[in-house]
Amino acid sequence: MNNFKIYQCENSIDGIFTAIYQAWDSGYGHANVKIEEQSETNNYSNIELFSDYILVKTNLEQALMVSKSIKAKISLEAYEMVCRVALSDYKGKGDLIYRFLILGFHIGSKIVGHLSNKVVNSVFKLNRYVNGETHHLLGFIRFSERENGILTSIIHPKNNVLSLVTPHFADRLPNERFVIFDGNRNICSLHLPGKPWVIAEFPDIDTSDFEGIVDDEYENLWKIFFDNIAIKERINPKLQRNNLPIRFRKDMTEFEYV
Amino acid sequence: MIIQEGMSIQRKLEILSDAAKFDVACTSSGVDRKGNGSGIGNSLACGICHTFSADGRCISLLKILFTNECIFDCKYCINRSSNDVVRASFTPTEVCELTMEFYRRNYIEGLFLSSGIMVSPNHTMELIFEALRMLREEYHFNGYIHCKAIPGTDPVLVEAIGWYADRMSVNLELPTASSLKQLAPHKSRKNILKPIRQIQLRRENNNEYLGIYDGRQNERNQVKNLILRDSNSGSNNSIYNKILNSYNSKLNQASEYNSVRLDNELNVASPESTNVIPFSKSPKGRSRYVPAGQSTQMIIGATNESDYHIMSVSETLYDNFDLKRVFYSAFVNVNNDSNLPSTVSGPPLLREHRLYQADWLLRFYGFKIAELLTEKNPNFNVLLDPKCDWALRHLEIFPVEVNKADYYTLLRVPGIGVNSARRITTARKTAVLDFKDLKAMGIVLKRAVYFITCGGKMMYPIKLNEDFITRELLSVKDRLPFGIEKDITYKQLSLFDDVSFKPDDRLVHQQISLA
Ligand code: SF4
């Protein structure tokens, strides 16, 4: 019998693109294949009976072909949208991207306007979600100055937004050495003056490795400012919580109390 | 007056941030500036909130007073000369260091520098000028700077500061000249409007010279043009004909007294006002004069002006003075002054909220104040937001067809904001939309159902009856900011100007308030 084929791939843009390339190329037909990325929270989903599992090894050349065709045959906008979906923490994003591309290659650049289509709509929602967290972090990221003058920041984002936030800081702080560490994924972006920034994986460090005791006068001044700027007559924790979700606070200087 | 010698920087920051907290303008909008590869800083038009203080307000700038010393005695102000409070002043170097070090750590988008008046307006503004000049030229700070201009400052100084600041503002303080006289005896309307006009003219001059047109102004003009065009074309499927007609007749009744008032005040009071730009050359490397434009703020509820009065002033400021934002600040009686309204039971936050909602309608929805309020009906409905209130009074133009109505018509539908209207106009290019589609697109129908059709049909068979719809709308929870009423889900009408995820797209603001 004709078994359903499940392509299991790495949880990365390249991994997902490789799987898409292979699934497309296989000739099994879109209805008979499914992409399944290794998710961040649970490694593989329930094994489905009557399905064949195909383990996809990430292949940069194949991934590149996919990105090129998206840009050429759909649009740059669609490409960026797909990338953001791939960086999200949504389970099943690989297959969503696959379904989106099927439509996209068929319809072309107008695909992004098909908001009443379920697949397109999901892609849109995920984009807003990822953009939202990125935008939050542009503001909420805090750097601490270490003894050696390196600015260090630790974040715990839901989505894999490191590659989306770093360019902003590279542009803003061209003369600084800085490090942003994603404590949920053990990846780090690094920037040195006059050089392009990079992202590197550090499987065996964790946030505590960054916690040297640094007595930074300006952290103290910032807390003073933060406490004093609130208007007592308008204290409103609910509004504050709504605007600044609690989950961000553990990485923010002004919410650290000794 | 208590002046402490050798005060620590911590103590100064404590005093001078505390003293600045009532200033509401907290924007970093309108300027998109990439880093220059050296120095430090860039600026995003969309604005970034760095944190939210305990009162729920966005913090994006280091908001401080340069000094809280003051020779003036404004009744509503904690720093008035007759108050016995601890006084402190920064030095220009201290301001620079704080700004730079906060900026590096990503605490802030930039600096918002306001000040009391030490010795004289000119003396104070000279120190502020020095702080800004040092920041830009010695510290190579390329981030955002918002600077207050003190009324009565020499125009030459105002001119010079404008080359270093992104935004400047002069507080209007109170909506009328007579309230101002009463509460801020040392200030005069003329002294306040003069620098506003000066900066406006200088900006126009500079933009013309550079061949830059102003995006926002352009947008406003588009709205206006659209209204005109629609009315000329005589097309029947736009509600603009009807709106325009009712607007014109209202305007005739209401006389233009209100909208030209500020201009008159300025012209009568200062005949030299058209000639206030002193000669100066831009400093090296700075080609734009106050690129983010001007804002101002008014205190709400300290005096007895009506909402109509306040909003008419705002409209004039937007239309004739090219202001980017008018801020409304609910009065807090910090001095427990018995001559001023008591705010023991809380500042007038709901009123402030309604004014901000109406302000959005003016700036992004193509509304005119004469459509929302009149001399006879001069205050906003506390129970309904201004747009619902307006729609209920214009049921004759509803329902509108979602698949046909133009963008600005959609914007007039209660519950449909800028984001929803955009999504609809995009999506209907490829499909005929029904209610299911609207829901899937994340468009909230709670209010809108009473005002729209999809494919000629309403979602439920509803009679367009004012009483009925009013009752239904009132049962939909008004999304007020937390703390104004209990149990509301609402995502801030922040005092922050532009929260959007598309820096290039100034219309996609947080439209939460009006949706
Ligand atoms: S001028 Fe008036 S409002 Fe400004 S600091 Fe002095 S007293 Fe306060």
| Residue nearest atom 5 of ligand 1, based on CA coordinates | B116
Strands B452-453 and B400-401: parallel
Nearest to A235 among B55, B429, B431 (CB): B55
Note the pLDDT of residue B274. Answer: 42
For the CA of B79, the nearest atom of ligand 1: 8
Please count the residue pairs, one from chain A and one from chain B, whose beta carbons lie less than 8 angstroms apart: 184
Q: Tell me: the pLDDT tens digits for B237-290?
A: 455 455 555 545 554 544 444 444 666 665 544 444 444 444 456 676 677 889
Sheet holding A187-191, edge to edge: A144-145, A151-155, A178-182, A187-191, A198-201
Q: What is the DSSP letter of B485?
A: B
- Terminal C-alpha separation, chain A: 65
For chain B, the domains span: 1-148, 169-375, 386-511
Nearest to A228 among B14, B104, B491 (CB): B14
Q: Does residue A208 belong to the interface with chain B, where contact is any CB pair within 8 Å?
A: no
Tell me the sheet residues that pair with B275: none
Residue pair B121/B39 in contact (Cβ under 8 Å)? The answer is no
| Range among A203-217, B40-54, B65-79, B458-472 with highest mean pLDDT value | B65-79
Q: Tell me: the pLDDT tens digits for B428-449?
A: 988 899 999 898 888 888 889 8
**Cβ neighbours, 10 Å, residue A60:** 10
* Distance of alpha carbon A253 from alpha carbon B37, whole angstroms: 27
Q: Tell me: the pLDDT tens digits for B89-108?
A: 999 999 999 999 999 999 99
Alpha-carbon gap: A157 to the closest alpha carbon of chain B (Å): 16
**pTM listed for this prediction:** 0.81
Tell me, in angstroms, the distance from the centre of ligand 1 to residue B22's CA.
Answer: 12
CB contacts of B44 in chain A (<8 Å) are: 138, 168
Tell me, in angstroms, the distance from the centre of ligand 1 to residue B195's CA.
Answer: 17
Q: What is the DSSP letter of B457?
A: B
Average pLDDT, rounded, for chain B: 78
CB contacts of A171 in chain B (<8 Å) are: 34-35, 42
Q: Does residue A141 belong to the interface with chain B, where contact is any CB pair within 8 Å?
A: yes
CB contacts of B442 in chain A (<8 Å) are: 125
Closest CA to B26 of B515, B501, B497, B506: B497
Residue pair B129/B160 in contact (Cβ under 8 Å)? The answer is yes
* Distance of alpha carbon B2 from alpha carbon B68, whole angstroms: 11
Q: Tell me whether residue A105 is exposed, middle or buried, using C-beta atoms within 10 angstroms of its C-beta: 0 to 12, 13 to 18, 19 or more.
A: middle
In chain B, residues 396-455 whose CB comes closer than 8 Å to chain A: 423, 426-427, 429-431, 433, 437, 440-442
pLDDT(A71) > 80: yes
Tell me, in angstroms, the distance from the centre of ligand 1 to residue B179's CA.
Answer: 15
Residue pair A63/A14 in contact (Cβ under 8 Å)? The answer is yes
**Is residue A257 very low, low, confident or very high in pLDDT (cuts 50, 70, 90)?**
low
Q: Is the CB of B362 under 6 A from ligand 1?
A: no
For chain A, the domains span: 5-133, 142-249
**Is residue A212 very low, low, confident or very high in pLDDT (cuts 50, 70, 90)?**
low
The amino acid present at B104, given as its one-letter code, is R
Q: Tell me: the pLDDT tens digits for B20-50?
A: 887 765 544 456 677 777 778 777 766 788 9
**Is residue B378 very low, low, confident or very high in pLDDT (cuts 50, 70, 90)?**
very high
Supply the ipTM of this predicted assembly.
0.89
Q: What is the DSSP letter of B515?
A: -
CB contacts of B102 in chain A (<8 Å) are: 218, 221-222, 225
Nearest to B35 among A113, A172, A230 (CB): A172
Tell me the sheet residues that pair with A156: none
Kindly determine whether residue A114 and residue B427, on different chains, have CB atoms separated by under 8 Å: yes
Task: State which H helix or E strand residue A191 sits in.
Answer: strand A187-191
pLDDT(B377) > 70: yes
